Amino acid sequence: MAVEIVRDPLWNNIRLDPLSIELIDTPAFQRLRYVRQLGLAFLVYPGATHSRFEHALGTFHLARRTLNLFEELDEFSAVGRDECTLVRVAALLHDIGHYPFSHALEEIGAMHHEDVARPLITEGEVAEVLRRELGADAPERIIELIRGRSDSALQGLISGSIDLDKLDYLRRDAFMCGVSYGEIDVDRLINALTIVRDPATDEPRVGMVEKGLSALESLLFAKYQMYRNVYWHHAVRSATAMYKRLVADALDTGALDARTLAGFTDEGILHTLAEHGPNPLVDALRRRRLYKRAFETPAADLPPDAAEWIADNRSLTVAVENALASEVGLGPGELLLDYPAKTQMLGLDLLVQRPYGEVRRVTAAGWEGAINLPKLSEEFYRSARWLRIYTATRMPIDARGVLRLAQMSADEVRARLDSERSLLGS
The string of pLDDT tens digits covering residues 261-294 is 889 999 999 999 998 878 899 999 999 999 999 9
Residue 369 pLDDT exceeds 60: no
Strands of 49-164 (E only): list them.
none
pLDDT of residue 218: 85
The torsion defined by the Cα of 169, 172, 177 and 180, in degrees rounded to 10, comes to: 100
Angle (nearest 5°) at CA 33 between 27 and 37: 130
Burial class (CB in 10 A: 0-12, 13-18, 19+), 110: buried
Helix, coil or strand: residue 72? coil
pLDDT of residue 13: 97
Angle (nearest 5°) at CA 58 between 137 and 44: 125
| Euclidean distance between CA atoms 239 and 234, whole angstroms | 9
Angle between helix 266-275 and helix 234-253 axes, rounded to 10 deg: 50
Residues 6 or more apart whose Cβ sits within 8 Å of residue 274? 282
Helix, coil or strand: residue 206? strand
Indicate the pairing of strand 12-16 with strand 359-362.
unpaired
Residue 370 pLDDT exceeds 60: no
pLDDT of residue 121: 96
Report, as an integer, the average pLDDT of 55-76: 93
Angle (nearest 5°) at CA 162 between 156 and 164: 80
pTM summary value: 0.93
pLDDT of residue 165: 95
Q: Which of 95, 99, 142, 86 is nearest to 114 (CA)?
A: 95
* Ramachandran angles phi, psi of 393, nearest 5°: -125, 145
Residue 239 pLDDT exceeds 60: yes
